């Protein structure tokens, strides 16, 4: 009887060791380690490069914003043979019935040194000092620090004003250029609202001319 007990205990120990080690081995084998991933480098074309900043908001008429402002800017830069990339706070696209514009990368990934100019369409930085996203304000400050061309339309002039890059006189409805800084006080949406002349084309014409003078 005593031998039977010893044999039973020994059998239990053997089973415990066998299945216990198997479970441990399985657990070890299923543990996966993930290496930290490096940010994907942004491919910036060679030549004159323009950065367009858009902000994710929903206008009363996205067709007007996408086609008559952002679309006109893009088409004019294409016709002038200038490279451009688009950045925003998220990857949410601008969409109309005929065009979809999707950001190439996020604002916090921008290397200002790779660009010659930045364009901020209307409301790209908010419509007041209080609504300016810090990321976009910091971006504008860096473009100014590196003495790049800066162009802003209507509401997007606020961060320039906040950082004293422009003055009150550049808050009218006209397209005004002072050195590297170009502003317009009327966007396509403002044409009917403020009864002003759309400054999109004249602003981009000045951007293109200024960049051509610099090259």
pLDDT score recorded for residue 50: 97
Domains of the chain by range and CATH? 49-214 (3.40.50.880)
Q: How many other CB atoms are found less than 10 A from the CB of residue 92?
A: 14
Mean pLDDT for each 10-residue chunk of the chain (215 residues)? 51 51 42 46 77 79 85 96 94 88 93 96 68 87 96 91 90 94 93 92 98 86
Tell me how far apart the alpha carbons of residues 45 and 67 are, in angstroms, rounded to a whole number: 25
DSSP state of 124: B
Tell me how far apart the alpha carbons of residues 154 and 186 are, in angstroms, rounded to a whole number: 6
3-state secondary structure of 199: coil
pLDDT score recorded for residue 26: 42
Partner residues linked to 106 by β-bridges = 88
Tell me how far apart the alpha carbons of residues 76 and 188 are, in angstroms, rounded to a whole number: 16
pLDDT score recorded for residue 163: 87
pLDDT score recorded for residue 27: 40
Question: Ramachandran region of residue 115, left (φ > 0), alpha (ψ -120 to 50) or beta?
Answer: beta
φ/ψ (deg, to 5) at 183: -130, 155
């Amino acid at each position: 009887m005593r031998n039977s007990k010893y044999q039973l205990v020994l059998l239990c120990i053997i089973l415990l060791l066998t299945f216990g080690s198997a479970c441990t081995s399985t657990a070890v084998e299923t543990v996966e380690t993930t290496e930290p991933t490096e940010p994907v480098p942004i491919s910036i074309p060679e030549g004159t490069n323009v950065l367009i900043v858009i902000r994710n908001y929903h206008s009363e008429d996205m067709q007007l914003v996408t086609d008559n402002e952002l679309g006109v800017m893009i088409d004019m830069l294409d016709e002038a043979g200038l490279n451009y990339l688009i950045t925003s706070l998220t990857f949410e696209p601008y969409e109309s019935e005929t065009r979809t514009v999707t950001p190439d990368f996020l604002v916090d990934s921008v290397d200002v040194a790779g660009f010659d100019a930045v364009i901020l369409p209307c409301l790209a930085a908010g419509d007041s000092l209080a609504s300016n996203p810090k990321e976009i304000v910091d971006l504008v400050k860096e473009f100014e620090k590196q003495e790049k061309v800066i162009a802003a339309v209507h509401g997007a002039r606020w961060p320039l004003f906040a950082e004293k890059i422009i003055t009150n006189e550049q808050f009218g409805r006209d397209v005004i250029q002072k050195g590297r800084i170009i502003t317009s006080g009327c966007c396509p949406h403002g044409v009917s609202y403020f009864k002003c002349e759309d400054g999109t084309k004249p602003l981009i014409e000045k951007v293109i001319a200024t960049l051509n003078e610099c090259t």
